[in-house]
Structure formats: C-alpha cells, structure tokens
Structure 1
Amino acid sequence: MSDRLLLATRNPGKLAELQRLLESAVPGVAVVGLRDVPDYPEAPETGATFAENALLKAREAVRYTGLPAVADDSGLTVDALNGMPGVLSARWSGRHGDDPANTALLLGQLADVPDERRGAAFVCAAAVVTPEGAERVLERSWRGQVVREGRGSNGFGYDPVFLPDGLERTAAELTAAEKDALSHRGQAFAALVPLVAELLGRS
C-alpha cells in the first residue's frame, strides 16, 4: 500500500489547495505533485468533458509512476457563451495557462452582455485511480456570475472575475479556507476524500 498519493498537477496553487483538503483527511498519506516524481510525457487533454479529462490525467499518472493518483479538470462555463470556455478554460486565449489573456478575452466577449445574463459556474471533475485499476470520478459546480472588472489577488485563473451567488466578494477576494469550503474544487475534493481513503485502505 502506497504512502504517497500523486496529485497530477504542476499548478502550485492547486496543489496547495488540494494538499490542505487531503492530507488532513487521509492520515499517513503524503500528497505529492508532478514536480515530485520523474517527468513523463503528458498527453493532451482531449476529452470532451471535465470528467473525461480528469480520468485521462489520473490513468496516465498511475501508468507512468505506479502511484495511486488523483487528477482534476476544471473550468468556467458561461451561460451567455453556451457553456464555454468549459474544457478550454485554461487555453481560451490560445496560450495554455495565460490567466490575464484568458480573462481579458472572456471579458471582451461579454462586454455587451447585460448583468442579468452574465451567469456562470465553475465546474470541477475529480478522479482517483489506483494501480489495481479502481476508478472513481465525481463532479461539483459553483454558481455565480462574471463581473466586469477583476477584483482580488487570491486564487488564480478566472477567480478575480467570478462573483459567487450570495456573496459580495469575488473568488479571488476569499480566504483560502473560505474558498475550500465553497468552491467547485473544494466540494469535489471533499466528496472525493472518503473515496480516496476507501481505495487506499485508510478509511
């Protein structure tokens, strides 16, 4: 039984967020990221859904490292854009991971959309796969709307322009603990934790 669980990401913000959730809930298991294991060729995220991409990344991580792996795929779905950028969220501007460019393009596309039609949701699919072949995947969403100007310096991606329903602060103005409790990723990983514990025999 492995005492390491690989989180298939290189994003330091995401890794820190998920370490907080998993390490306290799955005792004796250290959560490591892709920077902590030997490099392997990462396949492009070709899935049509968040769940397909999450499973693809987790399966690939297990195949190359032999460690049980967790992966997520998440993004922003905007009602006025028929659910886009969706699975293309990280590369919406054409350059993967360019948060300022992605956000600027999104705001430009929504410039003429009235406030009442700027509804959106962050969606996260989280998957866990073990070397023995067990697989679980689940999905959670966080509703809100896209504001016209970014606010806040916490978080990453589209957080500064996402105003969650019922709040007056954007996702980037929330503390880490607040975001963990509310966000799509926080919800997905909180729900995944008991599955991870069960699959790793730590429940």
Structure 2
Amino acid sequence: MPRELLLATRNRKKKLELQEILRELNLNILTLEELPYLAEVEEDGNSFAENAIKKAVLTAKASGKICLADDSGLVVDALGGQPGIYSARFAGELASDEENNQKLLKLMEMIEEDKRTARFVCVIALSDAQGNVETVEGICEGRIALATAGKGGFGYDPLFIPQGYTQSFAELPSATKNLISHRGKALEQARPLIERLFLGST
C-alpha cells in the first residue's frame, strides 16, 4: 500500500509537479483538496522559511500525517527583492497569475535588460505529526523577460528565463523545468528526508 504524503496546498499544479519529481518513491500524494476538513494555514511569516514551517507543522498536527509544505517566490533585484514572500498576491489578495505578471512587467518597464536579474526561491518544510520539522532550500537564478511567453507552468513562469536558457519556464518541457527549477532542486534535497521519515512505515 502506498505511503501517504500530504501537501499543505490546494494547488493541483504543484501536486502534479511533485508527483513527477518524486514518482520513484511510491508515495500517495494528497493535497488539502482531498481532505476538505483541513483549513489552509495563513502565510503571515516574514520569510519563506517561516511560512513553510508554519504550514507544514500545523497541517501535520491537524491531519496526523507526514506533511510537506513549501513557500516559494520570485526575488527581483531591481525591485529590492519584490515580490518575494508576497509573490502569489503581488497584485492583490485574490490576484490571478496574469494580474501578478502584468504588475511585474509594469514596474519593470524602464529596467534595462542587463539589470533584470532575478531568482526563484523555494523553501520546503517537512513535518511529522508530532511537529518535528526540517527544511531545505532551492534557488534558480535567471532574469525577467520583456514579455510573457509560453503556456506551461504557473505563476511567473511565462516571465522567468532561467540562467543558461533563452526560453521561459513556461516554454520549457516540464522535465527540463523540474530538473533546474527552485522547487526541483529543493525536492532533490528533501528526497532523503522524505525517505527517512517514511522508513519502516507501511
């Protein structure tokens, strides 16, 4: 019987991404969509790590399951690190990906191409039901494009061109993106932690 790993999110695209990256571990990956009695934890921390830890620990304790939570965001040098921990709600609490992308482009209208450096950051926290938690971090360097391109991925993927590439995350094949992305790098570091947490479990 597959072992269950709960993701502290309702984002189906994140689930698909994690399933692809962790497919060899034979895990049954659940999200809060499958456990509607669990509330989403408010992200009110001052860093990616604070938010990820809070989500992982509270969700693991409430569900009694091993829980993985991540907080990810885009850090743009020319904007002093914005949108950072506010990436998902950059254009407002209920903003769409398109609205967030358009706000970013507007703010960067006058920024020269060589000054458009940025990075995606992902902090993953893994917690057991007792609240024992560990974190890992993944970073992907790149730059902000002058216009959106591509239909894949989510969030700022259509605007982010990873270092060494000419295409945006949204244009790259998912296998390539998963290999080089901030979340892919963090998950590779998290893999031994996940294996250890499930060691001996059935």
Normalising to structure 1: TM-score of the pair?
Answer: 0.94
Amino acid at match of 1:49: S
- 1:172 alignment counterpart: 170
- 2:189 alignment counterpart: 191
2: CA distance, partners of 1:180 / 1:52: 24
User: 1:23–1:30: 8 Å Cα contact kept in structure 2?
Assistant: no
1: CA distance, partners of 2:165 / 2:29: 31
Amino acid at match of 2:108: L
Q: Give the 3-state SS of the residue equivalent to 1:172 in structure 2.
A: coil
Structure 1 stretch displaced more, 93-102 or 190-199 = 93-102
Amino acid at match of 2:80: N
The equivalences for 1:40-79 within 5 A come to: 40-79=38-77
2: CA distance, partners of 1:97 / 1:200: 37
User: 1:42–1:60: 8 Å Cα contact kept in structure 2?
Assistant: no
- 1:9 alignment counterpart: 9
Amino acid at match of 1:123: V
Amino acid at match of 2:5: L
Structure 1 stretch displaced more, 32-41 or 13-22 = 32-41
Distance 1:141 1:94, change over 3 A: same
The unaligned stretches of length 5 or more in structure 2 are none
Alpha-carbon distance, 1:135 to partner: 1.1
The unaligned stretches of length 5 or more in structure 1 are none
Alpha-carbon distance, 1:61 to partner: 1.1
Structure 2 residue corresponding to 1:128, chosen from 118, 122, 126: 126
Normalising to structure 2: TM-score of the pair?
Answer: 0.94
Distance 1:22 1:81, change over 3 A: same
Normalized per residue, the structure richer in helix is 1
Q: Give the 3-state SS of the residue equivalent to 2:74 in structure 1.
A: strand
Distance 1:186 1:97, change over 3 A: farther
Instruction: Write out the 4+ residue segments of structure 1 that deviate beyond 3 Å after TM superposition.
Output: none
Amino acid at match of 2:180: L
- 1:112 alignment counterpart: 110
- 2:23 alignment counterpart: 23
Alpha-carbon distance, 1:43 to partner: 2.9
1: CA distance, partners of 2:121 / 2:70: 10
- 1:90 alignment counterpart: 88
1: CA distance, partners of 2:79 / 2:198: 40
1: CA distance, partners of 2:98 / 2:145: 15
Aligned-pair Cα RMSD in Å: 1.5
User: 1:50–1:124: 8 Å Cα contact kept in structure 2?
Assistant: yes
2: CA distance, partners of 1:172 / 1:79: 21
Alpha-carbon distance, 1:97 to partner: 5.0
Identity of aligned residues (%): 40
1:126-165 deviation per Cα after TM superposition (whole angstroms, max 9, x unaligned): 0100013321101111000001100110101100010111
